[in-house]
Amino acid sequence: MPGTPPTKQRVLPPPNRRRDKPQLSCNPCRRRKVKCDRQQPCRTCSLRGLTMSCIYPDATSRPSDREPHTTVQNRIRELESLVHVLMQRAAPKNPSNPTNQTSADTSVSRTVEDSPDPGVGAAGSGEPSDCGTLRSTSAGVSYVDSAHWTALLDGISELKDCFEDTLELAPNFQPSIAPQIAPDYGPSPLLLYGHFAQASKGEIVSTLPARPVVDRLVSKFFNTIDLHPALLHSGQFIRQYEKFWEDPLAAPIMWVGLLFAIMALSTLLSLPHGGHDDEVNAQPSDLESAVLVRVYREKVVQCLTLGKYTKGGPHVLETLILYIALEHLLHEDSEFGTHLLLSMILNIAMRMGYHRDPKNFSVISPFEGEMRRRTWAAIYQANLIFASQMGLPSMLKDHQIDTEPPHNLLDSDFDEDTTELPPSRPDTELTPVLYIITRSRVARLWGNVRDMATDTRLHKYEEVLAMEARLHAHQCSLPQTLKMQPIAQSLADPPQLIMQRIWLEICYLRLHMVLHKNYFMVPTQHKRYSHSRSVCVKSALKIIEHQHLVYDLLTLRQVNPDGLLYDSRWKLSSVMNNEFLLATGILCAYLKQVLDIPQSAVEGTSTEEISQLLTKSSECWQRFRSTSRHARKAIDTIRLVLKIAGTPIASSAGAEDELSDMFAFQDPLLLDLNFPCTLNGFYNGDDSTSRSDLSLESTPFSQQHPMDDEWINLFQRVSTQPHT
């Protein structure tokens, strides 16, 4: 080009020129001009996931005589990792520059690469820092904090094609009920999207089936679905229920919505899913029940809308909580829509003053005040459940709340005419409310641990150890009846009590993992954090053992011939599965790191044991593979890591999935709002159905819907190059 000065070519040194100073750093550290500890691989390259590029110059051989150290494919992967590092460095400097965005999906996460000393945080604190993960896809932008399980997987490049966060089902999925009908998923939750017809109070009430049918559904709710102690006083509800049948149109529309929510949940759990029972197949009654769930759900939404639920009032919160539980159970995986629903419930509850203890207000009777405490305990726990599942901050601040935990009382201990509450029963006495009280205490500690783990401020390691001591003390103070017992010594205990013990045990194990997770992937040279690695790995191992135990107890009918444990299968929702996902991510990340750096192994563990447990975990996830994208992520991750470890498991592609319908409440027909249905085809109007006894006696082993949480951030810095 005219006017362009000629390009100066670099003068090469003579071939016999000797270096004045030998190169002691590895090539990547030399290029970046950072300190190298001269290990193989060095600490800096290990932290950056560039172990394959950690190469030292060979003074005895000429460059042309060297054998290639990496394949083209490995080099591409290394370059991909370098791109991630550059993105992580550039994001804080110019986060809003649109010119840096590409059409491809990106995942940006701040890690510790910006620190001059790998493995330490900012400001010279000496503690690791992680701001979570921000993902931009064609579907939108989403953020999860560092305690969420999905952030663990972002660094595994081999899984990037498998881990698109899509809502689509597997191509080979077939609905378990009426497969000849194409499912129409439609927007969900129904209340948010408004895809329902408006109806008058008379039209809604006329939809009710005959009383014997309603009696059975109400009885099932109080005796099987242990949500009721936190929301309803059984004695008060019976009186309201009897009065309702005297004049249905005189009942408040919100109470009618509460009744429909109870009916919807009971019908959902009445679906005769056979699972592994060969003699039980899809029956016409399955389709009828599925249609009824949709009908009852629509009636709940119509009642909420007609009653102007945003203004609050009697029965509003109880109806909303049961409705959000219904929407939650309709999906195998966590959905952001339910989190939005909960935010509305929280604001309505605070608008009604539930976050302040009733003793502050003389206008609230002792009976109403105690029921408000129970309801707030359920809402507070749900806030942490959904925040953890979504990887988002809690919507509540403890310093703005003074509502006390509920008292350990039976419903027969007080009623609407009570002028003064009786003394609380001791924790040694098992009541339906004791588990709610215990979970409320755990939830407070849960919030503290999660705040510390995801705080934007850096905490000293001594604070983490102090919080761990609080966890141990808190777990030791559990009521003896709710402490974990060996299953062999629990065969005479009610199944609900067994599930409560297992869930509380999993909660504490999970809190230990979340508390120490930020120190889990710190290079092994930091001996100070070896305790955190040990806590994370051993807690994850125990959780996976519990996963296998729970699935065995729920699938082996001979363990519980009367079927009560089988009725607890609904507790295996995305809530409990989220804990299993977090533990799966921990073990996969650890196993991969040990394969790369054998000296990083935790004392008392073996790769063989971990591989065996991960194989069992994969078998558990197979039951959800066709309906859960999270289950498919877990299966693919386990398969990849075990393949690298040299113990591959058989691929399920083309094989028959072991999807167990007994776990699959998320039936496509339940979401098919366009499927024509009428109740007249199910109830003929005559009272031919024998009326069952309506028993609403609360069993002393009630359990609330379990709390669930997070699982992905641990794979953030894990490279998946095959171990050599």
* pLDDT value at 716 more than 90: no
Shared domain for 45 and 157, answered yes or no, is no
379 by DSSP, 3-state: which? Answer: helix
pLDDT score at 405 = 93
Q: Is the dihedral of CA 587, 590, 596, 597 positive or negative?
A: negative
Q: What pLDDT band is residue 150 in, cutting at 50, 70 and 90?
A: low
* pLDDT value at 682 more than 90: no
CA 534 distance to own-chain centroid: 23
| Residue at 654 is within a domain | yes
| Averaged pLDDT for residues 519-539 | 82
59-63, 413-417, 531-535: range with lowest mean pLDDT: 59-63
| Averaged pLDDT for residues 661-669 | 36
Q: In the numeric block, which tokens belong to residue 701? A: 């082993």
* pLDDT value at 357 more than 50: yes
Three-state SS across 307-376?
A: CCHHHCCCCHHHHHHHHHHHHHHCCCCCCHHHHHHHHHHHHHHHHCCCCCCHHHCCCCCHHHHHHHHHHH
pLDDT score at 262 = 95
pLDDT score at 186 = 46
| Residue at 307 is within a domain | no
| Averaged pLDDT for residues 370-398 | 89
Percent with pLDDT over 90 in the chain: 29
Determine the Cα angle at 320 with ends 315 and 324, to 5°: 155
Q: pLDDT tens across 208-220, in order?
A: 999 999 999 999 8
Shared domain for 623 and 498, answered yes or no, is yes
pLDDT score at 172 = 39
| Residue at 573 is within a domain | yes
493 by DSSP, 3-state: which? Answer: coil
Instruction: Between 254 and 191, name the one with better pLDDT.
Output: 254
Residue whose token pair is 């890591």: 641
Q: How far is CA 11 from CA 15, 18, 22, 23, in A?
A: 12, 16, 21, 21
Shared domain for 592 and 719, answered yes or no, is yes
| Residue at 105 is within a domain | no
| Averaged pLDDT for residues 336-351 | 90
How far is it, in rounded angstroms, from Cα 340 to Cα 325? 13
Q: Is the dihedral of CA 264, 270, 275, 281 positive or negative?
A: negative
Nearest to 614 by CA among 572, 644, 658: 644
pLDDT score at 367 = 96
> What is the CB neighbour count within 10 angstroms for residue 399?
5
Q: pLDDT tens across 283-318, in order?
A: 545 577 778 888 899 999 999 999 999 999 999 999
| Residue at 41 is within a domain | yes
**C-beta separation of 276 from 659 below 8 A:** no
* pLDDT value at 113 more than 60: no
Shared domain for 40 and 153, answered yes or no, is no
pLDDT score at 687 = 39
313-327, 411-425, 558-572: range with lowest mean pLDDT: 558-572
Strands (E), 564-682: none
CATH number at residue 53: 4.10.240
pLDDT score at 223 = 84
* pLDDT value at 404 more than 90: yes
How far is it, in rounded angstroms, from Cα 270 to Cα 260? 15
Element (H, E) at 552: helix 530-555
Mode of pairing for the β-strands spanning 133-137 and 106-109: antiparallel
Domain count, the chain: 2
How far is it, in rounded angstroms, from Cα 137 to Cα 208? 44
Instruction: Between 46 and 394, name the one with better pLDDT.
Output: 394
| Residue at 87 is within a domain | no
Element (H, E) at 315: none
The identity of residue 577, as a single letter, is N
Q: What pLDDT band is residue 323 in, cutting at 50, 70 and 90?
A: very high
Q: What pLDDT band is residue 415 in, cutting at 50, 70 and 90?
A: very high
pLDDT score at 570 = 62
**C-beta separation of 501 from 517 below 8 A:** no
pLDDT score at 597 = 80
Average pLDDT over the chain, rounded to an integer: 72
Q: What pLDDT band is residue 173 in, cutting at 50, 70 and 90?
A: very low
Residue whose token pair is 């940006």: 108
Instruction: Between 267 and 711, name the one with better pLDDT.
Output: 267
Q: How far is CA 699 from CA 230, 486, 703, in A?
A: 13, 23, 10
pLDDT score at 239 = 95
pLDDT score at 625 = 79
Q: What pLDDT band is residue 453 in, cutting at 50, 70 and 90?
A: confident
| Averaged pLDDT for residues 617-644 | 84
Specify burial of residue 63 (Cβ count, 10 A radius: 0-12, 13-18, 19+): exposed
pLDDT score at 541 = 93
108 by DSSP, 3-state: which? Answer: strand
pLDDT score at 56 = 80
Dihedral Cα 191, 192, 197, 202, nearest 10 deg: 30
Nearest to 312 by CA among 347, 344, 342, 348: 348
How far is it, in rounded angstroms, from Cα 595 to Cα 356? 53
Determine the Cα angle at 440 with ends 630 and 488, to 5°: 70
91-100, 431-440, 583-592: range with lowest mean pLDDT: 91-100
| Residue at 469 is within a domain | no
Q: How far is CA 208 from CA 379, 679, 692, in A?
A: 29, 9, 17
pLDDT score at 249 = 94
Q: pLDDT tens across 236-293, in order?
A: 999 999 999 999 999 999 999 999 999 999 888 876 443 333 334 445 455 777 788 8
CA 452 distance to own-chain centroid: 19
Domain of 41 in residue numbering reads as 27-58
Q: In the numeric block, which tokens belong to residue 134? A: 């921000």
> What is the CB neighbour count within 10 angstroms for residue 96?
5
* pLDDT value at 232 more than 60: yes
- What pTM, to 2 d.p., does this model score? 0.69
Q: In the numeric block, which tokens belong to residue 671? A: 């979401």
| Averaged pLDDT for residues 330-358 | 88
| Averaged pLDDT for residues 26-43 | 83
Within 19-112, residue ranges assigned H as helices are 27-32, 43-48, 72-93
Strand partners, 106: 136
pLDDT score at 14 = 55
Nearest to 721 by CA among 183, 7, 54: 54
Dihedral Cα 212, 216, 219, 225, nearest 10 deg: -150
Strand partners, 712: 149
* Residue 376 region by backbone torsions, left for phi larger than 0, else alpha for psi between -120 and 50, else beta: alpha
| Residue at 633 is within a domain | yes
Domain closes at, from 43, 58, 73: 58
* pLDDT value at 384 more than 70: yes
pLDDT score at 152 = 56
Nearest to 430 by CA among 478, 462, 393: 478
Percent with pLDDT over 70 in the chain: 62
How far is it, in rounded angstroms, from Cα 516 to Cα 521? 10
Which of 177-186, 193-202, 272-281 tops mean pLDDT? 193-202
Q: What pLDDT band is residue 463 in, cutting at 50, 70 and 90?
A: very high
| Averaged pLDDT for residues 377-390 | 88
pLDDT score at 208 = 94
